[in-house]
Chain A
Amino acid sequence: MAATDHHCTIEAVWRIEFARVIASLTRFTRDVGLAEDLAQEAFLAALEQWPQSGVPDNPGAWLTATGKRRAIDLFRHNAVARCKHEELARELDVLEQASPDLDAELDNAISDDLLRLVFIACHPVLPADSRVALTLRLLGGLTTEEVARAFLTPEPTIAQRIVRAKRTLADKRIPFEVPCGPELVIRLSSVLEVIYLIFNEGYSATSGADLMRPSLCEDALRLGRILAELMITESEVHGLVALMEIQASRTRARVTATGEAVLLLEQNRSQWDQLLIRRGLLAIQRAHRINAGRGTYLLQAEIAACHACAHTPADTDWHRIVALYTELAQVHPSPVIELNRAVAVSMADGPEAGLALVDSLTGEPSLARYHLLPSVRADLLCKLGRQSEARVEFERAAAITRNTRERDFFLARAASFEISTASLQER
């Protein structure tokens, strides 16, 4: 086999194993940064040795053991850490003499470590962008360069962000554990937020020029699917997976070849990926089997599912969507959700009912610069035949939006009323 083939194989093994290797090494050293360095060294050792010796039967165990041996060497040379080293050496002995029923046990232990790694990478002590970078690096297996490209950020910035994050975790002595009780709720929501941020970063990238960004959706989905197996009793994890699967099912239909966004009701539904939709619906079912209240991700997933199950826009069950938005607004009160609910109400009960709800939001300070508020209002006014008011609202939306394409669109719609008014006067 040629050297490049070996390199490819070892890299592939690495991609499959790295997260679990880093997780095991973190438990061993209680230091994520050190664990990652050790894992890198183990990878280099594999690159050196495997071309001669062949890939070992259990490459993950080989990489972990190599990393652990390096750790012990390191501690041996570091007097300050001597106590730690002795403790670790003992642990390694115990591990190596572990009961013969170790396959299943070891597997569980690795899963536990992996989950701990997820929670430490997404620890709220870190700023959100650091959590994202660290998660992609440690769990997604992206190189620093790949993370930088995905976020259109210079590589040194990302590298520094990751270094600083690891230092913060060490300085604050963040324990390597899965939180429990009320802390779990807060920490889990941080984990889900990180995964969804990664997904949206990829999803909002409409240009196909750089494939790195859309592939973030795949990274996020994979992380979500892994987490769903690690935390099968958390309904919001399944809710998030469902939401991402269903949103990803529309990838092909939601952007034109020139990068123009296609709104949901205009999308060619035959382009929706039925496999991902089915996966999303199954994830919703898994969430339902858990007896817990519906959280924000599950509710959003169910709204997405309503659209996914409608063969044509006219088949959409808007009453159900209204009910889901109502529940969502209770779980997570937000003017933006209220606005979405108003749109759904207008579809279910007519523009008048929708407009009444939108009007109740116009005084909302957080929506003062939100261009969709006047544009939704304009649409409803237009449907009610109140054209001059609609024109003012479209102009307002155009003045607020930062997106030039959207501005042109709003201005065009505002102008269309002028023409029709003019033609009326001529008659």
Chain B
Amino acid sequence: MRFMIIVKATAESEKKGALPDPQLMADMSKFNEELIKAGVVLAMDGLQPSCNGARVKFSGKSRTVVDGPFTETKELVAGFWIWQLKSIAEAIEWVKRCPNPHHGESEIEIRQVFEMEDFAPLLSEEEIQYKVSRRAELPNQTSNI
């Protein structure tokens, strides 16, 4: 199963032009190395402060663009990983080993990603029949199915 590991922002990380502290970066890259060696990481990235971002608000059919920065700092995302693991307990254990991503107080959130088997059958019987009938028109594929 996959998890999105979300590093929350802080006032410091939200400052305009803010770059991560070199020491924090070094600690974090050591941790990343461990994750990669353990075959756990699928993806990761850090995000720029929200002043470089924007939001699109939806209301029925109307769309309103709101430019950053956004105020609810602690709820903003500063970075993320996608990990593939056996259980949320394992994800928690890895997160506990993560260096504090900011100076002082900070928070990392763990969320499970939906997998195919979380959804009810995606194809109707009709769609399946269609696919089967179409197969007759397609060339044989002996590999790479």
Which A residues are within 8 Å of any B CB, using their own CB? Answer: 8-9, 11-13, 15-16, 111, 141, 208, 211, 214, 218, 221-226, 229-230, 247, 251-252, 254, 256-258, 260-266, 275-276, 279, 303-304, 307, 336, 339-340, 343, 346-347, 372, 375-376, 379, 383, 409, 412-413, 416
B144 contacts which chain A residues (CB < 8 A)? Answer: 247, 264, 303-304, 307
Additional A-B contact list (18), CB under 8 Å, known A12-B90, A262-B131: A12-B93, A13-B93, A16-B94, A214-B117, A221-B39, A223-B39, A258-B123, A260-B132, A261-B145, A263-B145, A264-B145, A265-B141, A266-B138, A303-B144, A340-B142, A376-B140, A409-B132, A416-B136
| Chain B residue at minimal CB-CB distance from A351 | B139
Check: B82 CB closer than 8 A to any chain A CB: yes
B132 contacts which chain A residues (CB < 8 A)? Answer: 260, 409
| Chain B residue at minimal CB-CB distance from A57 | B97
B136 contacts which chain A residues (CB < 8 A)? Answer: 412-413, 416
Is the Cβ of A208 less than 8 Å from the Cβ of B117?
Answer: yes
B131 contacts which chain A residues (CB < 8 A)? Answer: 256, 260, 262, 266
Check: B121 CB closer than 8 A to any chain A CB: yes
Question: How many positions in chain B have a CB within 8 Å of any CB in the partner chain?
Answer: 37
Check: B92 CB closer than 8 A to any chain A CB: yes
Question: Please, how many angstroms separate the alpha-carbon atoms of A16 and B89 in the complex?
Answer: 11
Question: Please, how many angstroms separate the alpha-carbon atoms of A251 and B84 in the complex?
Answer: 15
Is the Cβ of B42 less than 8 Å from the Cβ of A279?
Answer: yes
Is the Cβ of B116 less than 8 Å from the Cβ of A379?
Answer: no
B39 contacts which chain A residues (CB < 8 A)? Answer: 221-226, 229
> Could you tell me the distance in whole angstroms from the C-beta of A386 to the nearest C-beta in chain B?
16
Is the Cβ of A376 less than 8 Å from the Cβ of B128?
Answer: no
B43 contacts which chain A residues (CB < 8 A)? Answer: 275
Check: B103 CB closer than 8 A to any chain A CB: no
Question: Please, how many angstroms separate the alpha-carbon atoms of A375 and B139 in the complex?
Answer: 10
A279 contacts which chain B residues (CB < 8 A)? Answer: 42
Question: Please, how many angstroms separate the alpha-carbon atoms of A224 and B120 in the complex?
Answer: 31
Contacts A254-B145, A265-B138; A16 near B90 (Cβ below 8 A) = yes
Question: Please, how many angstroms separate the alpha-carbon atoms of A315 and B82 in the complex?
Answer: 30
Contact partner, A226, options B38, B94, B135, B138, Cβ 8 Å? B38
Check: B143 CB closer than 8 A to any chain A CB: yes
Check: B86 CB closer than 8 A to any chain A CB: yes
Q: How many contacts between A and B, using CB within 8 angstroms?
A: 108
Is the Cβ of B89 less than 8 Å from the Cβ of A12?
Answer: yes
A221 contacts which chain B residues (CB < 8 A)? Answer: 39, 84
Is the Cβ of A222 less than 8 Å from the Cβ of B84?
Answer: yes
> Could you tell me the distance in whole angstroms from the C-beta of B94 to the nearest C-beta in chain A?
7
| Chain B residue at minimal CB-CB distance from A110 | B37
What would 6 A/B residue contacts be, using CB atoms closer than 8 Å?
Answer: A9-B92, A9-B93, A16-B90, A221-B39, A263-B135, A263-B141
Check: B134 CB closer than 8 A to any chain A CB: yes
> Could you tell me the distance in whole angstroms from the C-beta of A254 to the nearest C-beta in chain B?
6
| Chain B residue at minimal CB-CB distance from A408 | B132
Question: Please, how many angstroms separate the alpha-carbon atoms of A412 and B139 in the complex?
Answer: 16
Is the Cβ of B93 less than 8 Å from the Cβ of A340?
Answer: no
Is the Cβ of A257 less than 8 Å from the Cβ of B94?
Answer: no
Contacts A111-B37, A226-B39; A265 near B89 (Cβ below 8 A) = no
Question: Please, how many angstroms separate the alpha-carbon atoms of A225 and B142 in the complex?
Answer: 27
> Could you tell me the distance in whole angstroms from the C-beta of B124 to the nearest C-beta in chain A?
9
> Could you tell me the distance in whole angstroms from the C-beta of A4 to the nearest C-beta in chain B?
11
Question: Please, how many angstroms separate the alpha-carbon atoms of A177 and B114 in the complex?
Answer: 41
Give chain B interface residues in 67-96, CB to chain A under 8 Å: 82, 84, 86-87, 89-90, 92-94
Contact partner, B139, options A13, A218, A226, A379, Cβ 8 Å? A379
Is the Cβ of A218 less than 8 Å from the Cβ of B84?
Answer: yes
Check: B122 CB closer than 8 A to any chain A CB: yes
B87 contacts which chain A residues (CB < 8 A)? Answer: 8, 12, 15
Check: B36 CB closer than 8 A to any chain A CB: yes
Question: Please, how many angstroms separate the alpha-carbon atoms of A275 and B80 in the complex?
Answer: 14
A12 contacts which chain B residues (CB < 8 A)? Answer: 87, 89-90, 92-93
Q: 9 closest pairs, A vs B, by CB? A: A257-B121, A225-B39, A12-B89, A222-B39, A12-B93, A226-B39, A12-B90, A8-B89, A376-B140
> Could you tell me the distance in whole angstroms from the C-beta of B82 to the nearest C-beta in chain A?
7
> Could you tell me the distance in whole angstroms from the C-beta of B41 to the nearest C-beta in chain A?
8
> Could you tell me the distance in whole angstroms from the C-beta of A215 to the nearest C-beta in chain B?
8
Contact partner, A266, options B40, B42, B86, B135, Cβ 8 Å? B135
| Chain A residue at minimal CB-CB distance from B91 | A12
B134 contacts which chain A residues (CB < 8 A)? Answer: 266
Contact partner, A257, options B82, B128, B143, Cβ 8 Å? B128
A251 contacts which chain B residues (CB < 8 A)? Answer: 116
